[in-house]
Amino acid sequence: MNRRNFIRLSTTATGGLAIAMTVPAVAKGVLDKESFVANVLTEIHADGSITFMLTKHEMGQGTGTGVPMIFCDELGANWDTFKVVQALHDEKYKRFQGTTGGSSGLSSMWHPLRQMAASTREILIRSAARHWGVSRDGLYTENGFVKNPSTNAKVNFGDLVSIAPKVEIPDTDEIKLKDLKEFKLIGHGVQNRITPKIVRGEKHFALDLKRPGMVYASIERCPVYRGKVKTYDETACRQVKGVIDVIRVPEIYEDDDFIVRDGVAIIAQNTWAAMQGRKALKVEWEPGLNGSANNASLTKKMRALASVSGEKSNDYYGNFGDVEKAISEADEVLTATYENPYHAHACMEPMNGIAEFKDGHLEVWSTMQNPNWASEQITKYVNVPVENQTIHILPAGGSFGRKFYPEHVTEVAFLASKLNAPVKLTWTREDDIRCDYNSAFQHDNHSVALKDGQVTAWHTNVVSTKSWSPEPWFPYVVPNKLGEQHIIDSPLTPGAWRSVGAHRAAFASEGMMDEIAHKLGKDPLAFRLEMLGREIELGEDAQKHYNQPYSVDAIKKTRQVLELAAKKADWGKRMSRNSGQGLAVYRFSRSFCAQVVEVNVRRGKLRVDKVTAVLYCGTAVNPHLVKGQIEGAIIWALTSVLYGGMDFKDGRVQQSNFHDYKMLRMNETPEIEVHIVPNTDPAVGVGEPGVPPFTPALMNAIFAATGKRIRKTPLDMAELA
């Protein structure tokens, strides 16, 4: 490898981060002899403090703490003087910025940051060696100092900023990463850096910001997905005190997955006036193809496809053997349909942003998981080239996939280009829920062949509205397997929701595993472990699938989390009357999570008493935040079971605010116990893996308590009576 390339990683089959940068571009130079630009993300100052540019998006999940912890610990810096600054969207950060989503924010940075920090550490050690006139051998960094154990001498990083640029850049093979046992931060609970600032009101979100001469906007959007403005009358609107202008906002529809709804923007002197102007606006809508859609019509369409062959799932799922023959020869075939509705994100912070267009330059302040995409939309639809954009990435008051979509950024940028003043766009809570990017509406149809007390075939036929593809993960060993899917047009805006498609697939497959165990008279845990380690005759394709490293690893880790969860929850313990335990396991973003849920059901009322969760997530960078994410994911999933689901009529979402799209309250939250499997693997995602196993574990617990099998969410309490 060229000595001037200290990092060059290739994109892997698992979707790893692609990085290619040369050291001279990122690790060279002195700024007024007061700081050393160590690399594209880091600047070491003469006072010993370090400024680290955070390129990932902080949404409350702790990325702004976990990501810099990796760099700080590998470098051997002082966490107390380690300053974290949110990076702008910038071409120089592009390969580090990417998308913050899919629980990849931290895992995608694990190797690149450690390598970058190790290279910087080596430069500082060589600088200290030159400063002392000694060999670099034996020198090490700790808490912001380079130390010499043979003399007990130490020198602050800040005292090396004038020497470091003169030091020869180390070859890649000279850079050695720390052993995990050497870390002082990683693996320990560290407080989220943003929490104290939020409590003190010091953390600023886009809604907090103002610009001189700013005007305010609110948009009346078509309530039907892909509907149009037919006519509108702005006369009464313009008579509302404070209203300045009315601007038509045209629909943008691209590649089936991005939309700015057709609508009309009201520009005013303040947000209240803009919203009052909206109420006075008279609009007639052309609802289009989705104008007659409702829950019943969509369900009817999906059920009609349940017995129709669909498109074969990809090989990642594993399709092999002769399912049709095995089913025809079975002693019994179990069939079941699991139904998942649309869900909204309902973030505490509604969509918003500020934009200012001046002298051909556009400046934006907003929350966004995918700034590259936002920039592309501004270039394409507002005609502002990248070099004329300044995009400030603000923290999100919750996202869960919602702020992955940049339509709010595109909207406010478009409005700014039409005005001679900076503009703040604020969505109402009603806008946020009724114009959300909903998780897919999905039916999972399972048929499982049983012969001589064994599973001989498993057939899945998924019918899902157009969105992210159904998650196809399945670790259990069966000799014949077939997955098919029908992806149909969605009458509501489709999008990613926390855990994307995994929560839907997990509900069905883990619920079905429980049904089979019950049918065969086996303990649900014992049956799962049996299915993970079956020594049965397999065809060539099946052997190939289960023998590949990915499958072997998945089976091993699935077994690990199941066994530990059962142990920690005292699986099979004696339960009181009307109570029961249920378990489930699933994988998301290379993390494995098993959960045991304990419930009590009495007189048609459900009480979730406890959830025991076990997570395999590679190295837990910050166990405190890891546990917090699993706790949050469980609360998120329970909320969707109790209060989720979108009702829609004539293509219009019927819910509008927290009175009819409820959130879980503190007194409804169960005891949650989280355990992390100790290991030394690279860190992988933790933001979403806690969602998929919860719903099936809950429904399996309800069955254990009542004998009633629930295959649909949200939960209808009448079914428990």
* DSSP symbols for 207-239: GG---TT-EEEEEEE-SBTT-EEEEEE-HHHHT
In the block, residue with structure tokens 């630009």: 37
pLDDT for the residue 255:
74
The predicted pLDDT at position 258 comes to 79
Q: Find residue 481's DSSP bridge partners.
A: 320, 458
Distance between CA atoms of residues 497 and 207, nearest Å: 23
Mean pLDDT confidence for 101-117: 85
pLDDT reading at 11 higher than 50: no
Helix, strand, coil percent content, the chain, rounded in steps of 5: 35, 25, 40
pLDDT digits (tens, 9 = 90+) for 292-304: 999 999 999 999 9
pLDDT tens track for 383-399:
999 999 999 999 999 99
* CA–CA distance, 231 with 46 (Å, rounded to integer): 63
- pLDDT exceeds cutoff 60 at 7: no
State pLDDT tens for residues 271-289: 999 999 999 999 999 999 9
| C-alpha 36 chain-centroid distance | 35
Higher-confidence position of 522 and 25: 522
- In this predicted model, which residue has the larger pLDDT, 698 or 196? 698
Q: Give me 149's structure tokens.
A: 């154990």
Lowest mean pLDDT among 34-48, 330-344, 645-659: 34-48
Binned at pLDDT 50, 70 and 90, residue 663 comes out as: very high
Domain limits, CATH 3.30.365.10, in the chain: 7-199, 206-290+351-426, 296-343+438-720
Q: pLDDT tens across 614-655, in order?
A: 999 999 999 999 999 999 999 999 999 999 999 999 999 999
Q: How far apart are CA 442 and CA 229, in angstroms?
A: 30
Inform me whether the pLDDT recorded for 176 exceeds 50: yes
Span 689-700, average pLDDT: 98
Q: Which percentage of the chain shows pLDDT scores above 90?
A: 81
Confidence of residue 26 (pLDDT cuts 50, 70, 90): very low
Q: In the structure, what pLDDT confidence band is assigned to residue 177 with cuts at 50, 70 and 90?
A: very high
**Global confidence as pTM:** 0.92
Helix (H), strand (E) at residue 377 = helix 371-381
Question: Helix 694-706 to helix 623-643 angle, to the nearest 10 degrees?
Answer: 60
Quickly name the fold that domain 206-290+351-426 has: Aldehyde Oxidoreductase; domain 4 (3.30.365)
Mean pLDDT (the chain) is: 91
| Rounded CA separation 402/59 (Å) | 11
Q: Look-up: residue for tokens 């079971």?
A: 641
pLDDT value at residue 35: 83
Residue the block writes with tokens 């810096």:
77
pLDDT at 121 over 70: yes
Q: Calculate mean pLDDT across residues 432-452.
A: 96
pLDDT digits (tens, 9 = 90+) for 304-327: 999 999 988 776 678 999 999 999
pLDDT (tens digit, 9 = 90+) per residue, 197-254? 888 988 899 999 999 999 999 999 999 999 999 999 999 999 999 999 999 999 998 8
Residue 10 has pLDDT above 80, yes or no: no
pLDDT digits (tens, 9 = 90+) for 479-489: 999 999 999 99
pLDDT at position 29: 35
Fold of domain 296-343+438-720: Aldehyde Oxidoreductase; domain 4 (3.30.365)
143 pLDDT band (50/70/90 cuts)? very high
**What mean pLDDT is predicted for residues 497-517?**
95
Which numeric CATH code is attached to 7-199?
3.30.365.10
Residues 592 and 560: beta-carbon distance below 8 Å: yes
Among 138-152, 531-545, 564-578, where is mean pLDDT lowest?
531-545
What are the φ/ψ torsions at residue 311 (nearest 5 degrees)?
-70, 135
Is residue 547 classed exposed, middle or buried when 0-12, 13-18 and 19+ CB atoms within 10 A define those classes?
exposed
Name the residue with higher pLDDT: 706 or 313. Answer: 706
